Amino acid sequence: MELKLENSLIKDWRGYKGRPFLISGPCSAESEEQVMETATQLAQIKEVSVFRAGIWKPRTRPNSFEGVGIEGLKWLRRVKQETGLLVGTEVANERHVYEALKYGIDMLWIGARTSVNPFTVQEISDALNGVDVMVLVKNPINPDIELWIGAIERIARAGITRIGAIHRGFSSYEKTLYRNQPNWQLPIELRRRIPDLPIICDPSHIAGSRQFLHEISQKAMDLNFDGLMLESHIDPAKALSDAAQQLTPNDLKKLLSRLILRNASTSDPKLLDVLWELRQQIDVYDEHLLDLMEQRMKVAETIGRYKKENNITILQSSRWDEIIKRVIIKGQAKGLSAELIDTIFKAIHQESINHQMKIMNNGVKNPSDEK
């Protein structure tokens, strides 16, 4: 199914105050005072459109705080009435949807542990049929773009038009700087696949720690994301969940004031001309790269035929080791990162192997058969 996004431009959404569309509030609603105090302070920050708070918390281990449940929905309703902010919470099953809608929640999001499960997403979609509410779909915890798009499609099928995606990073086995790997190429690919779909970045769950929130938020803005979801708490150190990554409303304000917002495009004809010219050059270089790779593969195929004829294995690891070391040194001398060279050459090498495998196993002619 092709995803149709009618009237979904984020700038037309209720509550939109400009880029970034800002969603903030505590990881979890903990008490009426904590919710009201955080919301009152956030309402003073002009960029904040939606107050978020988790009511039902998906926790990794069962002995941690699992949310206050329905009681918290009353506090969110109070926030809406007293501050004028829109309010949002996470839903993970049909009952959550019914309860949240009963309390007039404006925005529902589907968490990363839910969007991995098509049964649950479908159940939520069925509960949303014909309802007019904002729905944001977080990426699944594993970096699977089809699963993410599938979840978005299921929600769109319920007739939800104010629909968006939240990029919150992907879990990985290795311990890394951030709590969840951003894998920026996934939201970039999502934008390419569904250009009109609003994408909100959630730096809090990517970072896992306050110190990285600014750099991730800035990166999201530079990649032209539509909004940010940043967790905030009046007293982060005392938070019952995600204490290390929450900001006080005051620190949120400081972070926002340091964000540099660049334009996604320009209408200045002179600048457009210059960019057009430079992009032509890029296109020419890309063509060269393709031609060079084509030629390289042809040579690899010829080598493959010799290997076949002489019954020797495709992979000679000493030769490969020598190539990768040499190109990394040469690449660095040209100002290219070792990471780039490593990724590109591993991919090229794999492609050569694939071409040679085909020759080895498909009864392709040997070089001595050629005229």
Contact set with Mn ion (CB under 5 A):
27, 242
Q: Which residues contact 147 (CB under 8 A, 6 or more apart)?
A: 115, 116, 118, 140
**Closest approach of Cβ 253 to ligand PEP, in Å?**
21
Candidates 105-113, 257-265, 269-277, 332-340; binding stretch for ligand PEP (CB under 6 A) = 105-113
User: How does strand 163-167 pair with strand 86-90?
Assistant: unpaired
Q: Is 167 in the site for ligand PEP (CB under 6 A)?
A: no
Candidates 16-24, 37-45, 106-114, 217-225; binding stretch for ligand PEP (CB under 6 A) = 106-114
**Closest approach of Cβ 213 to ligand PEP, in Å?**
14
Q: Is 88 in the site for ligand PEP (CB under 6 A)?
A: no
Long-range contacts of 169-176 (CB under 8 A, 24+ apart): 169/139, 169/202, 169/205, 169/206, 170/139, 170/141, 170/142, 170/143, 171/141, 171/142
Q: Residue 214 touches which of Mn ion, ligand PEP, none (CB < 5 to 8 A by kind)?
A: none
Q: How far apart are the first and last CA of the chain?
A: 51
Counts of helices then strands in the chain (DSSP H, E): 12, 8
In eight-state DSSP terms, residue 210 is: G
Q: Is 205 in the site for ligand PEP (CB under 6 A)?
A: yes
The rounded distance, in Å, linking the Cα atoms of 57 and 67 is 5
Candidates 110-118, 156-164, 338-346, 363-371; binding stretch for ligand PEP (CB under 6 A) = 110-118
The H or E element that residue 222 is part of is helix 213-222
The rounded distance, in Å, linking the Cα atoms of 324 and 312 is 22
Q: Residue 112 touches which of ligand PEP, Mn ion, none (CB < 5 to 8 A by kind)?
A: ligand PEP
- DSSP string for 291-321: HHHHHHHHHHHHHHHHHHHTT--S--HHHHH
Question: Which residue from 55, 76, 105, 112 is in contact with ligand PEP, where contact means CB under 6 A?
Answer: 112
Q: Is 96 in the site for ligand PEP (CB under 6 A)?
A: no
**Closest approach of Cβ 246 to Mn ion, in Å?**
8
Q: Residue 77 touches which of Mn ion, ligand PEP, none (CB < 5 to 8 A by kind)?
A: none
**Closest approach of Cβ 8 to Mn ion, in Å?**
26
Q: Which residues contact 129 (CB under 8 A, 6 or more apart)?
A: 158, 159
Question: Which residue from 20, 25, 54, 140 is in contact with ligand PEP, where contact means CB under 6 A?
Answer: 54
Whether the Cβ atoms of residue 44 and residue 135 lie closer than 8 Å to each other = no
Q: CA quadruple 89, 93, 97, 102: dihedral positive or negative?
A: negative
Candidates 2-10, 66-74, 111-119, 276-284; binding stretch for ligand PEP (CB under 6 A) = 111-119
User: Which residues in 121-150 contact ligand PEP (CB under 6 A)?
Assistant: 138
Candidates 107-115, 149-157, 192-200, 265-273; binding stretch for ligand PEP (CB under 6 A) = 107-115
The rounded distance, in Å, linking the Cα atoms of 366 and 308 is 7
Block residue for tokens 């311990």: 175
**Closest approach of Cβ 341 to ligand PEP, in Å?**
33
Question: Which residue from 10, 23, 27, 206 is in contact with ligand PEP, where contact means CB under 6 A?
Answer: 27
Where on the chain is the footprint of ligand PEP (CB under 6 A)?
Answer: 27, 54, 58, 111-113, 138, 168, 205
